[in-house]
């Protein structure tokens, strides 16, 4: 079953038992009386200290023990005399699995900028910051599955390759096997997609929702959790071209049920991280506190753990889009013309507006509902007034929109009307429309951007730092 991990060894009682530790060297320190090697295997933020006596190993061998090299060490687990750790390993054997030339290895025991680390994404998981983020990311993903499983949802695997544009925004990556230098043409001169792999135009999905709805119309409660792709040219700290989305879809849920579920869901997964990722969250909190020190007092944010507990402990503010516009129109930045984008009923809220509502006005997460139909997707249920739809966006401090969802239009005629209105060819969505013909039912769902959640929980400022290998415009290395 493989060797014990450092996380386990650090919890063991020091009884002089022989242990084998395998991991990467973080630091090596030599004093007159001893050589200290800090090893980490990624199982925990904490290193284990291995101690050798001077002369115990050849200078030649010790010379290859440098930051980044990989070792197998054997020794006795003893109580540590140093103050940093409870136990340490008194070395008897030392094997170097792989060296790391100090002149070439880019990760040295000092603070590297996040920008620099992005350029070495193949090595950055070996840093404290990224290993902490990746462990928290894992814990959150696990909590998502556990939450839905406990609530009677089924995990539905929706396709990555699709022929439809679920969000109707046209921001899709094409999937094709056609020879781009020799495209087949129709008689009219257009590209003949009949000759393409799928016999039609195909793309990477922007959302699993439409297929998710098909599942909900049979299994009642489903969720998807998979990669989604958007070819939007957004170079922001909150957008990726490839990101993971969690999309629950529930038959017999109305908008209010949908809001209740969304709020309970995010609170529960954040609570899971608070319970199971204490060491990593503490590490990230300290890291953030260092960063905050450079800011003026009144601009500093709450310590990470306090911020997370605050979100878990307080009800989200719920209001309609129309009410939010009123607040914005009465706001100081609007009156003083400080907003970059104009405010008025009908606008698509920009992030400065969302942040004003969440960070300045309510100072807590907000759920906005009943947006104008013109700025939302075709599948959202029309309100009685015909002007707004039963949409809901959950807005988070520092993040903005973390969840987007709605009650779905279950009326066939109304849905068809919207499909025509936004210019979608109903032929392409015949299967989606048929669910409204055969046993239609009120239903709702939402999508949570997984990286935005990880960003919130880890306190990281840039979404590119919470996914192992980020994809964004002009960047698909690694
Ligand atoms: O609001 P969106 O576009 O909604 C949908 O895709 C619906 N089909 C969801 C549903 O109702 N089932 O996206 C949902 C969430 C956003 O709130 C945001 O958190 C995240 O996905 N998101 C992105 N995250 C990272 N990079 C991007 N480019 C993102 N675009 C959306
Ligand atoms: Mg949205």
245: CA distance to ligand 2 center in Å?
12
Residue whose Cα lies nearest atom 18 of ligand 1: it is 449
Residue of the CA atom closest to atom 5 of ligand 1:
447
103 alpha carbon to ligand 1 midpoint, in Å?
43
Span from the CA of 427 to the centroid of ligand 1 (angstroms): 25
Any bridge partners for residue 95, and if so which?
Answer: 72
Rounded CA-CA distance 236/239 in Å is 6
Q: Which of 215, 245, 395 to mutate to test the pocket of ligand 1 (most atoms within 8 A of CB)?
A: 245
Residue 449 Cα to ligand 1 midpoint, Å, equals: 6
Residue 266 Cβ < 6 Å to ligand 1: no
Please determine, for residue 76, whether its predicted confidence score (pLDDT) is greater than 90: yes
**3-class SS letters over 45-108:** CCCEEEEECCCCCCHHHHHCCCCCCEEEEEEEEEECCCCCCCEEEEEEEEEEEECCCCCCCCCC
pLDDT score at 209: 97
For residue 257 and ligand 1, the question of a CB distance below 6 A is answered with: no
Q: Which numbered atom of ligand 1 lies nearest the CA of 212?
A: 12
Ligand 1 close to Cβ of residue 207 (< 6 A): yes
Using the atom order of ligand 1, give the atom closest to the CA of residue 447. Answer: 9
Check pLDDT > 80 for residue 148: yes
What CATH number should be reported for the domain whose range is 126-152+271-465? 3.30.930.10
Cβ of residue 209 lying under 6 Å from some atom of ligand 1? yes
* Closest residue by CA, ligand 1 atom 4: 404
Residue 165: nearest ligand to its CA? 1
Q: Among 3.30.420.40, 3.30.1780.10, 2.40.50.140, 3.30.70.60, what is the CATH number of 6-108?
A: 2.40.50.140
Ligand nearest to the CA of 230: 1
pLDDT band at residue 233 using 50, 70 and 90 as cut-offs:
confident
Q: Which residues surround ligand 2, an ion (CB under 5 A)?
A: 404
Is the Cβ–Cβ distance between 248 and 222 less than 8 Å? yes
CA separation, residue 130 to residues 205, 291, 458, 477 (Å): 28, 16, 10, 18
Q: What is the pTM of this model?
A: 0.97
Question: Quick one: what percent of the chain has pLDDT higher than 90?
Answer: 92
**Would you say residue 389 has pLDDT above 90?**
yes
Q: What confidence tier does 296 reach under pLDDT thresholds 50, 70, 90?
A: confident
Residue with CA nearest ligand 1 atom 31: 449
**pLDDT for the residue numbered 2:** 81
Position 293 confidence tier, pLDDT thresholds 50, 70, 90: confident
Give the number of whichever ligand sits closest to the CA of residue 348.
Answer: 2
**84 CA from centroid of ligand 1 (Å):** 43
What ranges do the domains of the chain cover? Answer: 6-108, 126-152+271-465
Looking at residue 331, its pLDDT comes to 97
Q: Is 239 in the pocket of ligand 1 (CB under 6 A)?
A: yes
Quick check: CB of 243 below 6 Å from ligand 1? yes
For the residues 422-443, what does the mean pLDDT come to?
95
Q: pLDDT of 4-53, one tens digit each?
A: 999 999 999 999 999 999 999 999 999 999 999 999 999 999 999 999 99
Say if ligand 1 is within 6 A of residue 213 CB: no
Closest Cα to residue 317, out of 369, 366, 259?
Answer: 366
Structure tokens at 454: 């990880």
Evaluate: CB of 248 within 6 angstroms of ligand 1. no
Q: Is the CB of 401 under 6 A from ligand 1?
A: yes
Measured in degrees and rounded to the nearest 5, phi and psi for residue 174 equal -75, 145
Distance 359 CA to ligand 1 centre (A): 21
Q: What's the whole-number mean pLDDT along residues 111-119? A: 95
**pLDDT attached to residue 121:** 96
> Rounded mean pLDDT of the chain?
96
pLDDT at 299 over 90: no
Q: Which atom of ligand 1 is nearest to the CA of 463?
A: 25
Signed CA dihedral, 460, 463, 464, 469: sign only: positive
Taking the centre of ligand 1 as the mean of its atom positions, its distance from the CA of residue 206, in whole angstroms, is 8
Nearest CA among 386, 383, 407, 403 for reference residue 394: 403
Ligand 1 atom nearest to 401, measured from its CA: 17
Q: Distance from the CA of 234 to the center of ligand 1, in angstroms?
A: 14
| H, E, C per residue of 295-354 | CCHHHCCCCHHHHHHHHHHCCCEEEEHHHHHHHHHCCHHHHCCCCCCCCCCCCCCCHHHH
353-377 pLDDT tens trace? 999 999 999 999 999 999 999 999 9
| CA pair distance 368, 371, nearest whole angstrom | 8
Q: Which atom of ligand 1 is nearest to the CA of 169?
A: 3
Taking the C-alpha atoms of residue 140 and residue 391, their distance in angstroms, rounded to an integer, is: 26
Kindly give the distance from the C-alpha atom of residue 396 to the centroid of ligand 1, in angstroms, as a whole number.
Answer: 14
CA of 329 to the centre of ligand 1 (A): 27
């Amino acid at each position: 079953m493989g060797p014990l991990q450092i996380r386990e060894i650090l919890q063991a009682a020091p009884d002089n038992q022989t242990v084998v530790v395998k991991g990467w060297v973080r630091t090596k320190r030599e004093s007159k009386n001893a050589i200290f090697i800090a090893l980490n295997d990624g199982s925990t933020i904490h290193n284990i200290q291995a101690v050798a006596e001077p002369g115990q190993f050849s200078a030649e061998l010790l010379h290859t023990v440098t930051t980044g090299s990989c070792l197998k060490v054997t020794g006795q687990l003893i109580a540590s005399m140093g103050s940093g750790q409870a136990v340490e390993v008194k070395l008897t054997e030392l094997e170097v699995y792989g060296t790391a030339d100090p002149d070439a290895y880019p990760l040295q025991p000092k603070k590297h900028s996040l920008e620099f680390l992005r350029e070495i994404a193949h090595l950055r998981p070996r840093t404290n910051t990224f290993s902490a983020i990746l462990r928290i990311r894992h814990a959150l993903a696990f909590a998502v599955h556990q939450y839905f499983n406990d609530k009677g949802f089924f995990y539905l695997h929706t396709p990555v390759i699709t022929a439809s544009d679920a969000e109707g925004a046209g921001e899709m990556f094409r999937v094709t096997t056609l020879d781009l230098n020799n495209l087949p043409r129709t008689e009219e001169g257009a590209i003949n997609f009949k000759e393409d792999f799928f016999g039609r135009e195909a793309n990477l999905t922007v959302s699993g929702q439409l297929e998710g709805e098909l599942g909900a119309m049979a299994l009642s409660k489903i969720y998807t959790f998979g990669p989604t792709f958007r070819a939007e040219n957004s170079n922001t700290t909150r957008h990726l071209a490839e990101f993971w989305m969690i999309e629950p879809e529930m038959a017999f849920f109305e908008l209010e049920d949908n809001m209740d579920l969304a709020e309970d869901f995010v609170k529960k997964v954040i609570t899971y991280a608070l319970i199971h990722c204490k060491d990593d969250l503490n590490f990230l909190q300290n890291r953030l506190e260092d960063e905050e020190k450079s800011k003026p007092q009144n601009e500093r944010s709450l310590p990470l753990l306090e911020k997370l507990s605050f979100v878990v402990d307080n009800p989200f503010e719920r209001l309609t889009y129309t009410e939010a516009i009123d607040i914005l129109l009465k706001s100081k930045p609007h009156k003083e013309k400080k907003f970059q984008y104009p405010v008025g009923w009908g606008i698509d809220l920009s992030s400065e507006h969302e942040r004003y509502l969440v960070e300045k006005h309510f100072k807590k997460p907000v759920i906005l509902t009943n947006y104008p139909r013109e700025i939302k997707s075709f599948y959202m249920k029309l309100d009685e007034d015909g002007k707004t739809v039963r949409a809901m966006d959950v807005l988070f401090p520092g993040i903005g929109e973390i969840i987007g969802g709605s009650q779905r239009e279950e009326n066939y005629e109304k849905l068809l009307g919207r499909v025509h209105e936004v210019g979608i060819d109903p032929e392409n969505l015949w299967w989606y429309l048929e669910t409204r013909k055969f046993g239609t039912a009120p239903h709702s769902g939402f999508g949570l951007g997984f990286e935005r959640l990880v960003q919130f929980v880890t306190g990281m400022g840039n979404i590119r730092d919470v996914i192992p290998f980020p994809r964004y415009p002009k960047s698909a290395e690694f």
